[in-house]
């Protein structure tokens, strides 16, 4: 299998450049270690804390970062829990924090957990193997209104009702247990013009189920304020998002923490005593150029936002 290529690499290295001398980077979603490896190679005084809830992919990162093992410490846990307990885990604050959200190509290509609608695998989708309900549990155990909500809220799927109805009808005959089976159900439920479209009709359904299974948006909402609290004053936080739900959450968090006042707009004077906590460094999100998009298709939807703690 090819080595994972981290997205927006040069922009990440430039915008999150650590201070000279000893410094600490928390790679909150270390995955296969691509960004961490580049940081360690470029900045000799840097220590990296790598976090991931997937033990299998954490082992891949460990192997990739073996040449830098004296400057790397890996943590097997979710990033929200990690930052909420950061004071127990480290003696110093991080100078830089990176979130590379979403899932690795490893999960789509080699995990065997049903993340891809292009394969026929057990319908699992858990990032932390063996923990919590699977995608099959949601597909077979949710009511039709619950399925509609999942597809609408987490996949922004305009055909949520139609797809939920098709899933319920199919599972009445036999439980849906494999990714290929689910992909076919969704495809058959799609109007003919969507079956011929460039984007597979099941794309948003699979995204929605993955987000729901792993509680991705809820964990991100917990992690951002906890990460900001842990960050060294003057330190920088960067977030790479791959879909609008994540990016919107990050954008609004940065904007709220950059604005010193949280009073209602019609309030004649400030009564909250709020203080500015962040300075946004990316007026617009950084996206991949044409060359990177051609070389690394995973970068096409990536958006990077960076802010500095004040």
Q: Is the pLDDT of residue 274 over 80?
A: no
Pair (223, 208) in one structural domain: no
Separation of CA 236 from chain center: 18
Residue 121 resides in a domain: yes
Look at residue 287 in the predicted model and tell me its pLDDT: 97
Q: Which two tokens stand for residue 134?
A: 């699977």
Contact 203, 88 (CB under 8 A): no
Pair (23, 155) in one structural domain: no
Residue 102 resides in a domain: yes
Pair (220, 206) in one structural domain: no
Q: Which two tokens stand for residue 100?
A: 């590379």
Q: Which of 171, 190, 213 is the last residue of a domain?
A: 213
What strand order describes the sheet that includes 46-52?
72-76, 46-52, 23-27, 96-100, 236-241, 303-309, 278-280
Number of C-beta neighbours around residue 210 at 10 A: 22
Where would I find the beta strands (DSSP E) of the chain? 23-27, 46-52, 72-76, 96-100, 236-241, 278-280, 303-309
Pair (99, 162) in one structural domain: no
Pair (152, 164) in one structural domain: yes
pLDDT tens digits, 122-168? 999 999 877 899 999 999 999 999 999 999 999 999 999 999 999 99
pLDDT tens digits, 3-53? 568 999 999 999 999 999 899 999 999 999 999 999 999 999 999 999 999
Q: Is the pLDDT of residue 221 over 70?
A: yes
- How many structural domains are present in the chain? 2
Beta-strand relationship, 72-76 and 96-100 = unpaired
More confident: 115 or 111: 115
* pLDDT band of 272, cuts 50, 70, 90: low
Q: Which two tokens stand for residue 123?
A: 């319908």
Mean pLDDT of the chain: 92
Percentage of the chain modeled with pLDDT above 70: 96
Q: Which of 153, 178, 213 is the last residue of a domain?
A: 213
Look at residue 3 in the predicted model and tell me its pLDDT: 54
CATH code for the domain of 168: 1.10.150.170
Q: Which of 194, 213, 232 is the last residue of a domain?
A: 213
How far is 30 from 51, CA to CA, in rounded Å? 6
Q: Which domain holds residue 176?
A: 117-213
More confident: 249 or 2: 249
């Amino acid at each position: 299998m090819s080595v994972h290529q981290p997205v927006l690499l040069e922009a990440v290295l430039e915008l999150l450049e650590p201070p000279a001398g000893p410094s600490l980077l928390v790679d909150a979603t270390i995955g296969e270690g691509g960004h961490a490896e580049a940081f360690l190679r470029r900045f000799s005084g840097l220590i990296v804390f790598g976090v991931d809830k997937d033990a299998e992919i954490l082992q891949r990162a460990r192997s990739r970062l073996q040449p830098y093992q004296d400057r790397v410490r890996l943590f097997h846990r979710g990033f929200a829990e990690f930052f909420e307990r950061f004071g127990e885990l480290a003696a110093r604050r991080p100078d830089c924090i990176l979130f590379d959200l979403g899932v690795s190509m490893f999960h789509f290509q080699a995990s065997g957990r049903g993340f891809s609608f292009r394969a026929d695998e057990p319908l699992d989708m858990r990032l932390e193997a063996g923990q919590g309900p699977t995608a099959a549990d949601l597909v077979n155990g949710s009511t039709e209104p619950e399925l509609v909500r999942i597809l609408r809220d987490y996949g922004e799927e305009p055909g949520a009702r139609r797809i939920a109805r098709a899933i319920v009808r199919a599972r009445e005959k036999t439980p849906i247990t494999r990714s290929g089976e689910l992909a076919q159900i969704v495809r058959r439920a799609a109007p003919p013009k969507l079956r011929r479209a460039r984007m597979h009709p099941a794309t948003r359904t699979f995204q929605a189920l993955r987000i729901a299974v792993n509680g991705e948006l809820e964990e991100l909402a917990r992690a951002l304020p906890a990460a900001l609290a842990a960050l060294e004053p003057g330190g920088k936080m960067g977030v790479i998002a791959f879909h609008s739900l994540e990016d919107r959450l990050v954008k609004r968090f940065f904007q709220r923490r950059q604005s010193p006042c949280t009073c209602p707009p019609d309030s004649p004077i400030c009564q909250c005593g709020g203080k500015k906590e962040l300075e946004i460094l990316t007026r617009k999100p950084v996206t991949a150029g044409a060359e990177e998009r051609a070389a690394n298709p995973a970068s096409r939807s990536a958006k990077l936002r960076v802010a500095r703690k004040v």
